Structure 1
Amino acid sequence: MGCLLAGSISVFSQKSNEWRIRARGLGIVPQESAGIGVVGGDISIGAAYIPELDFTYFFTKNIAAELILGTSRHTVGTKGSDLSAIGGPSSADIDLGKVWLLPPTLTLQYHLPLGCGFKPYAGAGVNYTIFYNASSGPVVKNVSYQNKFGFATQLGIDYDISKKLYLNIDVKKIFLKTDATVDASNLTPSAHPELNSVLGNIGAPTKINPWVFGIGIGYKL
């Protein structure tokens, strides 16, 4: 009886033209890879854990749009780079500092109320990631990143704990690439000045492709 009552409250409270706001904790786990010019090796991007705020608008009882707002700071480095041309080891891990990511993501969702307060949903949409406040670390002169659009998919579930409050669990996959450029001209050997222009413009097309895991609480406005 309690389950049926919760289901009826859930259907009643989910309506069109409704705004919702959520506060969540996120774990952002990159699935990174890169093609690094000149020195080779692969990329390493650290995970981040952040607070996040998001807004959802229901066009109908089942169709909604979600916008997430949050920013994260990640460590960046290379693995197994060959520095033998400048007198270094043939397999080195290079600290490339840290970078902040601001990735507003807009998804269109389909919600399916199941009763008992449970409402799973699936969504897909677009992401635009802004890279800012990049530090280059102690080794190279500079690292820059291009802002990029990406594609996002998501699965999640809401659980009503009252007519206004609900719990949320959400998993997103963001398909994100960037073109990173490393200026390592400061490492040019004095005996080989011809390497200056090469080391000053090392390209690294990078796939970040993070998983984004979220859990939090929402409020129906």
Structure 2
Amino acid sequence: MKATFISYAAALALAFPMAAHAGAPDGKIQVKLLGTAVLPDGGISTVRATSLALPAKTDTSANDNYVPTVAIEYFLSNAVSVETICCTTSHHVDGAGAIAGVTHLIDDILIVPATVTLKYHLTGLGPVKPYVGAGPSYFLVLDSKIGAGGKAALGATDASLKSKLGFALQAGVDIPVGGNGFGVSLDAKRYFMRPLARFSNAAGATLLETRHELDPWVLSAGLSYRF
């Protein structure tokens, strides 16, 4: 995580000097460096296939994570913009409900939440600029593997979480600080994402296949620069 944060900070540091001579609160481009909390649900929405005798009320949950993110925004007009974000987030899936004591069913899940939102900014409210947005998101799963709980509780030797296309809703506020393009940004996104998890044995046979309500809240706060 430290290396990721350094790379994002370096990218933003390079962007700021290039635009320093042209910083403006009504510029076309805005770059943000944010601290972000990724708060997923991770419960089972559907059991698609199983050869296991699962206890009634078997469920799962995914752990929270806190990461740095970079957002880049282009203003089509004073009220409309398009924004994308850059980050990776890491999680694991634990048992819940009837299997609440089982931890790390799936481990080392690394996700790139590729997201593009179209945003509408409320104007005429002075320096405080609230906005709402919505757009598609693709959760690209770079890595996932069987955890200790998946081996012990399910007898699985392999597990994977599949990449998935979903949707995001967004709301937030930009608060300019001075007249040179700098500001403070607060942002909240709710993702609607239902990826598929698969557990298999050494022979490659499917033991369990489940769809999950990942549906994370993604809450961010940080600094912005518009030019």
TM-score interval w.r.t. the shorter chain?
Answer: 0.7 to 0.9
Measured in 1, the distance between the counterparts of 2:165 and 2:204 equals 30
Q: Determine which of 140, 144, 165 is the counterpart of 1:149.
A: 165
1:78 deviates by 2.1
User: 1:33 Cα shift?
Assistant: 1.6
Match of 1:108 in 2: 118
Q: Distance in 2 between matches of 1:120 and 1:201?
A: 48
Residue equivalent to 1:99: 109
Letter in structure 2 aligned against 1:159? I
Identity between Structure 1 and Structure 2 (%) = 25
Matched, 1:212 2:218: yes
Cα shift at 1:180: 0.6
Equivalent residue in structure 2 for 1:27, among 9, 33, 37 = 37
Structure 2 unmatched runs, 5+:
1-23
> Which residue number in structure 1 is paired with residue 133 of structure 2?
123
CA–CA distance in structure 2, aligned partners of residues 133 and 212 of structure 1: 20
Query: Structure 1 length normalisation: TM-score?
Result: 0.78
> How many equivalent pairs are there?
189
Of residues 74, 77, 87, the one that matches 2:94 is 77
State the shift of 1:104 in Å: 1.1
Partner Cα separation in structure 1 for residue 142 and residue 172 of structure 2:
29
Do the aligned partners of residues 197 and 166 (structure 1) sit closer, same or farther apart at CA in structure 2, a change above 3 Å counting? Answer: closer
* Secondary structure of 1:133's aligned partner: strand
Which structure 1 segments of 5+ residues have no match?
1-11, 83-90, 187-195
CA distance in 1, matches of 2:32, 2:103: 38
Look at both structures and tell me which one has the larger radius of gyration over its CA atoms. Answer: 1
1:68 positional shift: 0.8
Letter in 2 for 1:14: D
Q: 1:13 aligns with which of 1, 22, 25?
A: 25
Alignment RMSD, CA only? 2.1
- Distance apart, 1:13 and its partner CA: 3.0
